[in-house]
Homo-oligomer: A and B are copies of this chain.
Amino acid sequence: MRAVVLLSGGLDSTTTLAMAKMEGFELFALTFDYGQRHRVELDRARDIAKNFGTVDHQIIRIDLRQFGGSALTDSIAVPTHRNQVNIEIPVTYVPARNTIFLSFCLAYAEVKDASDIYIGVNAVDYSGYPDCRPKFITAFETLANLATKAGVEGKNKIKIHSPLIKLSKGEIIQKGVELGVDYGMTHSCYNPGNKGIACGACDSCYLRLKGFQDAGVKDPIEYTKNH
């Protein structure tokens, strides 16, 4: 029983990896080097994949900057934290990102004869990103079973798992702590300083810190700014 897990090196995907492991899957991790500004994310993903005993870990290089269109891959400023969960699509949205990521997961799954794909999208994301919504995941699963040999031949029906999709950040962290995840390995910051230390001020740090607060757990990582 094999699963492909999308692994960014962040808190959500690492928790997702732990959940797939708990289900008893042999793990095949897939990470994208898509012109992120911070290489620290890739290093963390490598360490995490190793730590979880993945059978294989592939890093796919694609350059989404070629099209432009997002603060995460463009040189425009990343917004600092918001006072409320956004109801609009955030500027950090990368066009069709999860469609592209899941497509590669599907190719990887087909080559490795895996029928399960895990993606760590969650409720906080899907309030803002169109491609984090449950109906997007369902539509991708339908597509996946039409797109592949496995689907046509009727064996190994592909299943897309998004186990965090209805969880808040706090609930994700509680779940991960139960599974023994070491969140000290994970990286979330959009604007890290020297040695990859988290800024504590960007959107992503804000949501992470609030999550740990809600979970009643101390965030083990270091921050530039005190909280």
> CB of A152 within 8 A of chain B?
yes
Q: Which residue of B lies closest to A143 (CB)?
A: B139
A36 at the interface (CB under 8 A from B): no
Q: A130-B146, A131-B147, A143-B139 are in contact. Are A99 and B108 (CB under 8 A)?
A: no
Identical copies in the complex: 2
Whether, in the assembled complex, A100 has its beta carbon less than 8 Å from a beta carbon of chain B, the answer is yes
Contact count band on A = 35 or more
Contact partner of A143 (CB less than 8 A), chosen from B61, B112, B143, B149, is B143
- Give complex CA distance A99, B117 in Å: 15
Q: A103-B103, A139-B142, A142-B139 are contacts. A98–B62 as well, Cβ < 8 Å?
A: no
Which residues of A does B touch, CB under 8 Å? 58, 60-64, 66-69, 89, 93-100, 102-104, 106-108, 110-112, 130-131, 133, 135-136, 139-140, 142-144, 146-149, 151-153
